[in-house]
Amino acid sequence: MAKRYFDLFEDVYVPGRWHLDEPVDQGGWKLVFRRGEPVHVEGRLRIPLYVPGKALDFSFVAGTTIPVVHARVAAVLAELAPGDVELFPAEVEGESEPYFLLNITRVVKCIDDETSDEVRYVKPEHNQPEKLGQYRSVIGMRIDPSKVGDAQVFRTWGWKVAIIVSEAIKEALAGMGVTGMTFTEVTGPSTISAEERARSRKLRELLETAAAAREEAWRALGSLDTEVIMPIAMSGAWPGQRQLWSVIRRETERTLLVTHGLSDPFIETLEPSVGFGLELALEVDAAVKDISKGWPLKLLDRVADEVAEHEHVREGVKAGLFSMEVSGKGMPKSLVTEEGRVAVLLGVESRSLPGHFSTPYGQVRFVTVKALLPAELEYVLEHGAQGHAELARRFAESGEEHLSRAKRRAVV
């Protein structure tokens, strides 16, 4: 009987789950683990929380496929795959249970290009000479078991983001009820039909085209920060069912945070479109280093949720200036009302940001998000639409029309 192997993934659908930051050594230096190679580590590692939440037995370091595992997972791997892995003791922030950073040292050249759903290669035009001939993407991976040998846990040559485990490893971990991991078989015939393969290919093309157009628009506004990695959240309310964000570094030390998916084509219809036809932008007057822990992203996230989930909010935003309130938890005290809310004004015109940008699927409205002070919210509640217009006028006079700051004087 042919051996069976499985692609090991992080379960991103666990409600309220944590996300882990990059590991640091005892001196506070962040460490880089080269995939598929042994590494030398002195002392115990420390792993900060990127996003606090429910602890899991198996997690990836944010933006990577470097696993962090509970001691009971480490014990199984040490017993069944001692020649394939390195395990380094690690202290996870706020967690008393023992954890280990898992480094997979075995790399096997075994991807079956013919039976995989789709493979793409790095070519000269991609300007990555060090990866030339390797895989740019692998969809619906299938491997050739005859090329694996005695490996129990390994990464695939040319596509080292994948972690493949033997059936014995999979059964041992699944039988323990380990949390935070899922498995997809990568041996045997493809599990999808030709029709499903065509649908997946069309969906990828639609989403990639939309994302590329947005990135071009972002680069026109400043330096697109490709070093910032924020976990992708899955959301049925967003057109492409994925919540994405981008960070743009602007002149004069400003940071522009933008939604990157409200204008995705709708995944259900698989037709070219601009989704909700808008993207949101929130700019602050600081070079924000840790985006994930700052209030600007929290605020933009909450506003984006309201826009994605409620049609009347989207219609109000498209009609012109629109104000709303969201939770003030974790927000600067100067922005929070007595009721524990934070107000924003959407659609304030900006002299340095466009009102729209183009994509192959149509025009997308670029909507600014301006954090209001409690006094400004009271003014809006008293004067309605006229209050919106007057606030926008006064913000323009101040020279900070769309800029969000926690420390400033109210314009009313």
**HEC secondary structure over the chain:** CCCCEEEEEECCCCCCECEECCCECCCCCECCCCCCCCCCCCCCEEECEEECCECCCEEEECCCCCEEEEHHHHHHHHHHCCCCEEEEEEEECCCCCCEEEEEECCEECCECCCCCCEEEECCHHHCCHHHCCCEEEEECCCECHHHCCCCCEEEECCEEEEEEEEHHHHHHHHHCCCCCEEEEECCCCCCCCHHHHHHHHHHHHHHHHHHHHHHHHHHCCCEECCCCCCCCEECCCCCCCEECEEEEECHHHCEEEEECCCCCCCCCCCCCCCCCCEEEEEEECCCCCCHHHCHHHHHHHHHHHHHHHCHHHHHHHHHCCEEEEEECCCCCHHHCCCCCEEEEEECCCCCCCCCEEEECCEEEEEEEEEECCHHHHHHHHHHHHHHHHHHHHHHHHHCCCCCCCCCCCCCC
For the cut 90, the answer to whether the pLDDT of residue 131 exceeds it is no
| Average pLDDT over the chain, rounded to an integer | 91
Residue indicated by tokens 């997809």: 184
For the cut 60, the answer to whether the pLDDT of residue 229 exceeds it is no
**Spatial CB neighbours of 232, under 8 Å, sequence gap ≥ 6:** 12, 242, 243, 244
List the domain boundaries for the chain: 5-185, 216-398
For the cut 80, the answer to whether the pLDDT of residue 29 exceeds it is no
- How large is the greatest C-alpha to C-alpha distance in the chain, in angstroms? 77
Residue 17 CB neighbours (<10 A): 18
**Spatial CB neighbours of 58, under 8 Å, sequence gap ≥ 6:** 10, 11, 67, 68, 69, 70, 73, 178, 179, 180, 181
pLDDT value of residue 157: 95
| Maximum average pLDDT range among 194-198, 211-215, 370-374 | 370-374
pLDDT one-digit tens code per residue, 297-347: 999 999 999 999 999 999 999 999 999 999 999 999 999 999 999 999 999
pLDDT value of residue 166: 97
**Residue range 3-22: average pLDDT?**
94
* Confidence tier at 235 by pLDDT (50, 70, 90): confident
CB 123 within 8 A of CB 133: no
CB 85 within 8 A of CB 74: no
pLDDT value of residue 322: 97
How far lies 280's CA from each of 217, 294, 307, 396, in Å? 13, 17, 9, 19
pLDDT value of residue 128: 78
Name beta bridge partners: 159: 156
